[in-house]
């Protein structure tokens, strides 16, 4: 495939390495030094685009790819207030769109575990659930997109919790997400259920960016030649 990389920071470079190893061609690389190359005409030369920038530019980048008629995989977080608009743009332009808060195969299995554990714990009101997420200091958004996905999965099953908050809380209806920024830390997410009798905890720790980059390339391979809106569950069959 010919891939357009929209965002050529640390993640973009890790994606490039994996894509080349898998026999793909990077025909466009857009970073902060060449934003003028981020045009519909340039994107149209690609078979698929992979977008990893930031919350301030992700939506416009995704829509530009759709208007170019190029399937787009997006891993930027912090912009989901406009997610429905992005989906509508995908449908209007008859393109393909895959967003994930995390592309790691291990994290997506962790998502499945989190959903199942939330189902099992739902009847046991004596347990309080909370989340902790740890990332490097260069991560711009807090909580992480992965933590928000985990929290929303829990809220879907736990009738005691009404909303997540990005701080410690003593309110029974609040699901606390604690965000820590420490270097170096590619990413750790912890779900803790605590009671007066015992504690239950599940944890995922990333050791490097390779898992995220590999998952993003797998998603691009899946999305190539497709139309519609997809998720990593579709890619992995989970």
| Residue 135 a catalytic site member | yes
As given in the structure block, the two tokens for residue 93 are 């332009």
Q: How far apart are CA 42 and CA 91, in angstroms?
A: 22
Domain with CATH 3.30.360.10 in the chain: 105-205
Domain with CATH 3.40.50.720 in the chain: 2-103+210-236
Sheet strand arrangement including 163-165: 163-165, 174-181, 128-135, 188-194, 199-205
As given in the structure block, the two tokens for residue 98 are 């895959």
Choosing from 13, 87, 139, 226, the catalytic residue is 139
Choosing from 24, 135, 161, 189, the catalytic residue is 135
Torsion angle of alpha carbons 24, 219, 228, 101, nearest 10°?
-140
Let me know if 62 is exposed, middle or buried by CB neighbors in 10 A (0-12, 13-18, 19+): buried
- Considering only the top CATH level, what class is 2-103+210-236? alpha beta
Q: What is the largest CA-CA distance in the chain?
A: 62
pLDDT at 166: 96
Long-range contacts: 19-27, Cβ < 8 Å, 24+?
19/217, 19/220, 22/217, 22/221, 24/217, 24/220, 25/1, 27/2, 27/3
Tell me if 138 sits within 8 A of 91, measured CB to CB: no
Q: How far apart are CA 33 and CA 49, in angstroms?
A: 19
Q: How far apart are CA 238 and CA 40, in angstroms?
A: 34
Answer whether the bond into residue 143 is a cis peptide, omega within 30°.
Answer: yes
Which CATH architecture does the domain made up of 105-205 adopt? 2-Layer Sandwich (3.30)
Q: How far apart are CA 179 and CA 78, in angstroms?
A: 14
Place of tokens 């930031």: 54
Let me know if 56 is exposed, middle or buried by CB neighbors in 10 A (0-12, 13-18, 19+): exposed
Place of tokens 């829509």: 63
| pLDDT, one tens digit for every residue, the chain (238 residues) | 999 999 999 899 999 999 999 999 999 999 999 999 999 999 999 999 999 998 999 999 999 999 999 999 999 988 999 999 999 999 999 999 999 988 998 999 999 999 999 999 999 999 999 999 999 888 877 898 889 999 999 999 999 999 999 999 999 999 999 999 999 887 899 999 999 999 999 999 998 888 889 999 999 999 998 999 999 999 998 8
| Residue 136 a catalytic site member | no
């Amino acid at each position: 495939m010919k891939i357009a990389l929209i965002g050529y920071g640390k993640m973009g470079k890790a994606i490039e390495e994996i894509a080349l190893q898998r026999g793909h061609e990077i025909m466009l690389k857009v970073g902060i030094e060449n934003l003028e190359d981020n045009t519909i005409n340039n994107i149209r030369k690609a078979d698929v685009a992979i977008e990893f920038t930031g919350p301030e530019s992700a939506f416009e980048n995704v829509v530009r790819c759709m208007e170019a008629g190029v399937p787009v995989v997006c891993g930027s977080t912090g912009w989901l207030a406009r997610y429905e608009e992005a989906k509508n743009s995908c449908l209007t332009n008859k393109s393909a769109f895959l967003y994930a808060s995390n592309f790691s195969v291990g994290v997506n299995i962790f998502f499945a575990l989190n959903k199942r554990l939330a189902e099992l714990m739902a009847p046991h009101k004596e347990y309080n659930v909370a989340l902790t997420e740890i990332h490097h200091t260069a991560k711009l958004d807090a909580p992480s997109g992965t933590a928000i996905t985990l929290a929303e999965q829990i809220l879907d099953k736990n009738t005691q919790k009404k909303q997540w908050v990005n701080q410690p809380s003593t309110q029974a209806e609040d699901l606390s997400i604690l965000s820590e920024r420490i270097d170096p830390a590619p990413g750790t997410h912890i779900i803790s259920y605590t009671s007066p009798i015992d504690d239950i905890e599940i944890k995922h720790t990333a050791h490097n960016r390779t898992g995220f980059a590999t998952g993003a390339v797998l998603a691009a391979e899946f999305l190539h030649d497709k139309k519609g809106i997809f998720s990593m569950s579709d890619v992995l069959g989970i």
